[in-house]
Amino acid sequence: MKVWSQFNQAVANRAPAPVESDPSDQEFEKFIYLISHDVRASVRALIELPQWIEEDLLEEGRELPATVTRSIRMMNTHTFRLDRMLNDLLVHSRISRMQTFRANDLNAAIDTVLEKVTVPEGFKIERELNGHSVYMGERDVLTMLEASISNSIKHHDRESGTIRISAQVGSGELILEISDDGPGIDPEYREKVFEAMAMLQPRDEVEGSGMGLTHIRKIAEDCGGNAEWLDVDTDRGSRLEIRLPLYS
């Protein structure tokens, strides 16, 4: 994980920027855009070219051996994973950057996230937000909430489930809790899952880059808060607590 450590350190060395007009932020954003544009263009080519080759061969009446078809499918799977991982690394590099810090209504932010996230038919999202807002960049709020909700859905082991999002104020902090009735997390791995690209299940079983919880913790820490797993009272379920400082 040496490459990740170097990448993360480079991002961490840049102080959070609450204003959009900082020239250094604009330069950094331009650099990231150029890298992402060129690299992702190559990734998209890797996704499309095998499909074109397969289509051309079929048009010529050549039936592909089953082994070749499987290899093409496997190549597509890994290339899509590469594209997702690259996108998530870019998201991570932009946390706390090039955004206006302001109060974001949590209820409205969750509505926005749920327009993007596919919630399975048997799942329900419960809210107890008490009218609270969170003070940070809008993009970071949406990233944090999307990662939290998606994580609960992705790792659930049943066709139906409940995800509960609550917010309250205590000890000068906004305490945001995302809980679910899924299989839960073994206490032994509660810290490990916050590491970049950490996956407790094989990617063939649960698709993902392993960056969602990494995003959540970095967003919280950049605001002077933290994210951690709490104990649950039953043999199932998980409780993710995100503590953020209050701003007047």
Q: Can you list the alpha helix ranges (DSSP code H) found in 60-133?
A: 66-93, 106-114
pLDDT band at 86 (very low <50, low <70, confident <90, very high): confident
What pLDDT, on a 0 to 100 scale, did the predictor assign at position 248? 46
The per-residue pLDDT for 204 is: 55
- Weakest-pLDDT range from 1-5, 143-147, 155-159, 195-199: 1-5
Q: What is the pLDDT of residue 58?
A: 87
pLDDT, tens digit, for every residue of 192-204?
Answer: 999 887 776 655 5
The first and second tokens of residue 151, run together, are 């994580």
Residue 175: is its pLDDT beyond 80?
yes
Task: Give the per-residue pLDDT at 47.
Answer: 86
Q: What is the pTM of this model?
A: 0.78
Asked if the model's pLDDT at residue 223 lies above 60, the reply is yes
- Reduced to 3 states, what is the DSSP secondary structure of residue 171? coil
What's the pLDDT score for residue 130? 94
Residue 215 has pLDDT above 80, yes or no: yes
pLDDT at 28 over 90: no
Query: Which residue, among 128, 125, 145, 148, has the nearest Cα to 137 in the 3D structure?
Result: 145
**Starting at the edge strand that comes first in sequence, how are the strands of the sheet with 226-230 ordered?**
123-128, 161-170, 173-180, 238-245, 226-230
- pLDDT score recorded for residue 163: 98
pLDDT at 19: 42
d(CA 70, CA 66): 6
Pick the range with the lowest mean pLDDT from 41-45, 118-122, 134-138, 162-166: 41-45
Q: Which residue has the tokens 């409780």?
A: 239
Angle at 210 between CA 230 and CA 215, to 5 degrees: 65
Residue 5 clears pLDDT 60, i.e. is over it: no
Instruction: Return the beta strands (E) in 67-193 as ranges.
Output: 101-105, 123-128, 133-137, 161-170, 173-180
Q: Please say whether the beta carbons of 234 and 111 come within 8 A.
A: no
Residues 127-136 as b or e (16 or more Cβ within 10 Å = b): eebeebbbbb
243: left (phi over 0), alpha (psi -120 to 50) or beta: beta
Q: State pLDDT tens for residues 107-148.
A: 999 999 999 999 999 999 999 999 999 999 999 999 999 999
With tokens 């038919």, the residue in question is 121
Q: pLDDT exceeding 70 applies to what percent of the chain?
A: 85
- Please report which confidence band the pLDDT of residue 227 belongs to, taking 50, 70 and 90 as the band edges: very high
Identify the weakest region by mean pLDDT among 159-173, 202-216, 229-243: 202-216
Mean pLDDT calculated for residue range 68-80: 88
pLDDT, position 17: 44
Q: Kindly tell me if the per-residue pLDDT of 3 is higher than 50.
A: no
